[in-house]
Amino acid sequence: MLLAPPLDMQPFESFPISVDFSPEFDLLSDTIDIFTVTAKIVPSDVDASSEVLEGGPSRSGHRITQIVKGGTAGINYRIEFHVTGVVPTNKFEAEVDILVKEV
């Protein structure tokens, strides 16, 4: 699921992005067991995790939070949140697009 609208970010900025997976996991009476966050350049799909992700993701209940930092101006990044429940067939993904630009 692509979360809209895309976020604008300046190269110097750093802030947290959170995705709440409660609707999916509450419906299944499951909890998040495994979670990862990656980043890639759009549309080339080149991995950019080391460029725009600061540290690792954190979890609070069904909410996953990742700190993102400014990348290269003029580049679109897609931040991908992947979660797996205690029941391993329960897998969900959310994506947040970020456009880095100088204002």
Tens-level pLDDT at each residue, the chain (103 residues): 667 678 899 999 999 999 999 988 888 888 999 999 999 999 999 999 999 999 999 999 999 999 999 899 999 999 999 999 999 899 999 999 999 998 7
Rounded to the nearest 5°, which phi and psi values hold at 101? -155, 150
Q: Which of 90, 97, 98 is nearest to 21 (CA)?
A: 90
Domains of the chain: 2-100 (2.60.40.1220)
Instruction: Tell me how far apart the alpha carbons of residues 23 and 26 are, in angstroms, rounded to a whole number.
Output: 5
What pLDDT is stored for residue 2 in this prediction?
67
Q: State the pTM of this model.
A: 0.91
Q: Which amino acid is at 31?
A: T
Task: Count the helices and strands in the chain (H runs, E runs).
Answer: 2, 7
Q: Which residue has the tokens 């499951």?
A: 30
Q: What is the pLDDT of residue 10?
A: 93
